[in-house]
Structure 1
Amino acid sequence: MSATMCQVMGFLVSALGFAGCIAATVMDMWSTQDLYDNPVTAVYQYQGLWRSCVTQSSGLTECRPYFTILGLPAMFQAVRALMIVGIVLGAFGLLVAIFSLKCLRIGSMEDSAKANMTLTAGIMNIVAGLCAICGVSVFANMLVTNYWMSTANMYQTGMMQTLQTRYTFGAALFVGWVAGGLAFIGGVLLCIACRGLVPEETHYKAVSYKSAGYKSGVGYETKNTAVKSDDGRRSYPSKHDYV
């Protein structure tokens, strides 16, 4: 795969991951009500990062935003922060990647500058993908912990089993995992492409002083431009040339 193709593929994959991160962040189904013990219910509840919703059997859906910040758990706020940081880094990474595309010429920008910009964009997208994956994983860990704690309380109370509401994984978690993976893969492709965008350096060979007409230098070679006479001797000025 050529460097240009690898760069374009990394940009497209990163763009898909960025769009997926935004979609997962704004989705409301981060956690959904578990209907294993109560499959028939008149109310279905699900929650997101920004609001909680209730759907009735009649089809009416009502959502209520979280009107507090300090009242939310610390891990919940950490998930919010990770997703926002991932979106911001992904946006900057895509912006840098657009200007670093080899097929796009902007003024007299050299290939070495494009390679550095491609590497920067790749690192940003990798970090953005890791932020999204970590945020979704932390939220999933919270759901698993609360689920088993609720299950233990249900077995202890017995009579309160029907009143206990448990939540399981929502569709937004799977979207976030896939989006974070795409952003990470896109960043890796951009980092790989930056090596092919660097122009080949000119390698200079040191030549011995005894070579015909060359003097050896440090890291470069220079040719001795002294003019030779017909008989092979160097035409240096002598005292007989002046009257």
Structure 2
Amino acid sequence: LYMQKMVFLTPIIMQRTALFVTFGGLVTSLITTFLPLWKTMNSDLNEVENWYSGLWHACLYTEEVGVQCKAYESIMGLPMDLQISRVLMLVSVGTGGFALLAAFPGLEGVGMCVGQPGLKRRLLILGGVLSCVSGLTTLAPVSLVAYTTVVDFWDEGFPDVMPRWEYGEAMFSGWFGGLALVLGGTLFFVAVCMADYDKRPASVPHIPQAKHRTKHYLKTEVL
């Protein structure tokens, strides 16, 4: 039963899993980048209005009209955390795409780079590195915006009657996408290590040499 379970844990399965996890993390990060739900605000004075803020748009939801979004007029007028988050999220999406492009030809069973196992191995390592970089560049801006949101929320300089920004759904999807990208890159490294372990030369079992048995006879003299 143990051997049957280990059959499913092969380098090919690990490579496919890493590619699937990386692709899922990339799609999630891409959606998070353009989703206008990074921060949300609801005023106690007017409960029918909900404000949403993202990296590119600010939206207002009312029961009468629905959702109305407007792009930011000036980049320089944005807070520094949003400007940094824009750049990092675009870098994340770009590196995640390059990670998939680099890792796909390195998969076993793919008819590319056939007969070049060393090149396939390097492509998988490159895909793993790019995927981890993409994940970190997703986690960094999401965590930065989360930090500034907490600082502004607990700022005692704001009057209590003023509405304050809170976490939106995009914050959690960004954390999930970043962790998925880091996990996918780690699985690429695990797949490479598993393939190297399977290709190791078979060790010759050490057979101890049989010692020659000698018989010792006790000489006795008969008087």
Query: Which of 8, 11, 28 pairs up with 1:3?
Result: 11
Q: Is the 8 A contact 2:105 2:113 kept in 1?
A: no
> Within 1, Cα distance between the matches of 2:113 and 2:120?
12
Quote the offset at 1:203 in angstroms. 8.7
Quote the offset at 1:107 in angstroms. 5.1
| In the alignment, structure 1 residue 112 sits paired with structure 2 residue 110 | no
| Alpha-carbon spacing, 1:109–1:77, altered in 2? closer, same or farther (3 Å) | farther
> Within 2, Cα distance between the matches of 1:127 and 1:55?
36
Correspondence for 2:101: 95
Correspondence for 2:183: 185
| In the alignment, structure 1 residue 17 sits paired with structure 2 residue 25 | yes
CA offset digits 1:26-74 (Å, max 9, x no partner): 1011000145xx2862321111100101111214221110121111122
RMSD of aligned C-alpha atoms? Answer: 2.1
Correspondence for 2:36: 28
Q: Secondary structure at the match of 2:185?
A: helix
Amino acid at match of 2:109: C
Q: Is the 8 A contact 1:114 1:197 kept in 2?
A: no
List runs of 5+ in structure 1 lacking aligned partners: 156-160, 206-243
> Within 2, Cα distance between the matches of 1:41 and 1:182?
36
Correspondence for 1:153: 158
Q: Moved runs in structure 1, 4+ residues, more than 6 A?
A: none
Quote the offset at 1:189 in angstroms. 0.2
Q: Is the 8 A contact 1:49 1:80 kept in 2?
A: yes
> Within 1, Cα distance between the matches of 2:147 and 2:40?
15
Q: TM-score of the superposition, structure 2-length normalised?
A: 0.81
> Within 2, Cα distance between the matches of 1:80 and 1:107?
36
Alignment identity in percent? 25
| Alpha-carbon spacing, 1:172–1:107, altered in 2? closer, same or farther (3 Å) | closer
Q: Is the 8 A contact 1:124 1:187 kept in 2?
A: yes
Aligned pair count reads 195
| Alpha-carbon spacing, 1:109–1:92, altered in 2? closer, same or farther (3 Å) | farther
> Within 2, Cα distance between the matches of 1:90 and 1:66?
26
> Within 2, Cα distance between the matches of 1:2 and 1:173?
35
Q: TM-score of the superposition, structure 1-length normalised?
A: 0.75
Amino acid at match of 1:171: E
> Within 1, Cα distance between the matches of 2:183 and 2:40?
29
> Within 2, Cα distance between the matches of 1:56 and 1:121?
45
Q: Is the 8 A contact 1:31 1:170 kept in 2?
A: yes
Correspondence for 1:234: none
Q: Is the 8 A contact 2:58 2:71 kept in 1?
A: yes
Quote the offset at 1:108 in angstroms. 3.3
Query: Which of 147, 170, 173 pairs up with 1:172?
Result: 170
Correspondence for 2:219: none
1:189-228 mapped onto 2 (5 Å cutoff): 189-198=187-196, 200=199
Quote the offset at 1:19 in angstroms. 0.3
Larger Rg: 1
Q: Is the 8 A contact 1:112 1:197 kept in 2?
A: no
> Within 2, Cα distance between the matches of 1:144 and 1:204?
58
> Within 2, Cα distance between the matches of 1:196 and 1:111?
14
Q: Is the 8 A contact 2:128 2:189 kept in 1?
A: yes
Quote the offset at 1:201 in angstroms. 5.7
